[in-house]
């Protein structure tokens, strides 16, 4: 049985998760929350992560009932993400790997979301809508790569929602997107907004003054196009914005019309967490991947389709 511990801290969440052969043994997490009207800066976010990461690590081990000797591999988020928080997590992961005498493994954050979604939902070969604060992509697996069929050409959907929340001073606790969703549920009037789909890509910067329903309609449209291209009958939504129940409802309507199935997870696994890095690390480690200490750098730009997916097929 293979046990992998994963460290995630690419944005304002810091998490440590432990996976053993497809079982989530632990997944504690902390969130850096700023006052309404403010975003989170890289330096301050990294300072928050440094202050809690060892506590979260101990919680993960205690909750799993494991000791360092029981761990087979240490995985960490290599990128993409915010530079300072990524460095903080990478340093701790490197240190832990050396102290424990375990192999180290750098993981693509986006692939962590996908592999966590596949594990939790048991989706077979879905078209993936990956929506978060930093990324918006429609993805499908083909020939050892997660191929990007469409993406944002400016800002990510989560970043658009976050900026909107800052403008009208919506609370960041537990997250701006969640609070926008709760307020939208009370709405009764749909306001027509700019709808910018360009081929398989979307643009959100011009819609920032307006917001949620139209954003999601654009995402459903490009996802349906990718499904038609791939002949897919499954959709899986991952990433922090994937928790949004309205997005799930709108996607489910499209899937029902196509006779397709929708898969999604709750906030435990949609929002950035350590277990998703552990799960992707587990898949990679079992297929022979390791990261040498000299190569254990981080990068703020690391596309999903750069990674050779050797653990599928």
Which residues sit in the known binding site for a divalent metal cation? Answer: 109, 113, 130, 272
Instruction: Find tokens 């990461």 and name the residue.
Output: 53
| Binding site per annotation, positions | 109, 113, 130-134, 162, 177, 181, 244, 272
Instruction: Give DSSP secondary structure letters for 155-213.
Output: S-HHHHHHHHHHHTT---SS-HHHHHHHHHTT---PPP----EETTEE--GGGTTS-HH
| Binding site per annotation, positions for substrate | 130-134, 162, 177, 181, 244
Q: Which helix (H) or strand (E) holds 264?
A: strand 261-264
Q: Are 234 and 126 in contact (CB under 8 A)?
A: yes
Q: Are 298 and 80 in contact (CB under 8 A)?
A: no
152 by Cβ neighbours in 10 Å (0-12 / 13-18 / 19+) ranks as buried
In the three-class reduction of DSSP (H, G, I as helix; E, B as strand; rest coil), residue 199 is classed as coil
In the three-class reduction of DSSP (H, G, I as helix; E, B as strand; rest coil), residue 208 is classed as coil
Residues β-bridged to residue 197 = 202
């Amino acid at each position: 049985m293979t046990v992998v511990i994963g460290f995630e801290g690419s944005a304002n969440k810091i998490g440590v998760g432990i996976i053993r052969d497809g079982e989530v043994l632990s997944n504690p997490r902390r969130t850096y929350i700023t006052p309404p009207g403010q975003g989170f800066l890289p330096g301050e976010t990294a300072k928050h992560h440094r202050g809690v990461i060892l506590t979260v690590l101990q919680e993960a081990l205690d909750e799993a009932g494991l000791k360092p000797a029981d761990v087979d591999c240490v995985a960490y988020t290599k990128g993409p993400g915010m530079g300072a928080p990524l460095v903080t997590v990478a340093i701790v992961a490197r240190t832990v790997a050396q102290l424990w005498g375990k192999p180290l493994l750098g993981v693509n954050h986006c692939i962590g979301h996908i592999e966590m979604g596949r594990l939790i939902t048991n989706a077979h070969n879905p078209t993936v809508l990956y929506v978060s604060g930093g990324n918006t992509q429609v993805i499908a697996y083909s020939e050892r790569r997660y191929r990007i069929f469409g993406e944002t050409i400016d800002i990510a959907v989560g970043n658009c929602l976050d900026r909107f929340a800052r403008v009208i001073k919506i609370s960041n606790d537990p997250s701006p997107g969640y609070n926008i969703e709760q307020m939208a549920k009370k709405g009764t009037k749909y306001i027509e907004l700019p709808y910018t789909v360009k081929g398989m890509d979307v643009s959100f910067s011009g819609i920032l003054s307006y917001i949620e329903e139209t954003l999601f309609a654009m995402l459903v449209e490009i996802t349906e196009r990718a499904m038609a291209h791939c002949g897919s009958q499954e959709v899986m939504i991952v990433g922090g914005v994937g928790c949004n129940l309205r997005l799930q409802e709108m996607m489910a309507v499209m899937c029902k019309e196509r006779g397709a199935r929708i898969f999604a997870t709750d906030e435990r696994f949609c929002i950035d967490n350590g277990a998703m890095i552990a799960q992707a690390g587990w898949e990679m480690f079992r297929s022979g991947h390791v990261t040498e200490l000299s190569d254990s750098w981080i990068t703020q730009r690391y596309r999903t389709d750069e990674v050779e997916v050797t653990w599928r097929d």
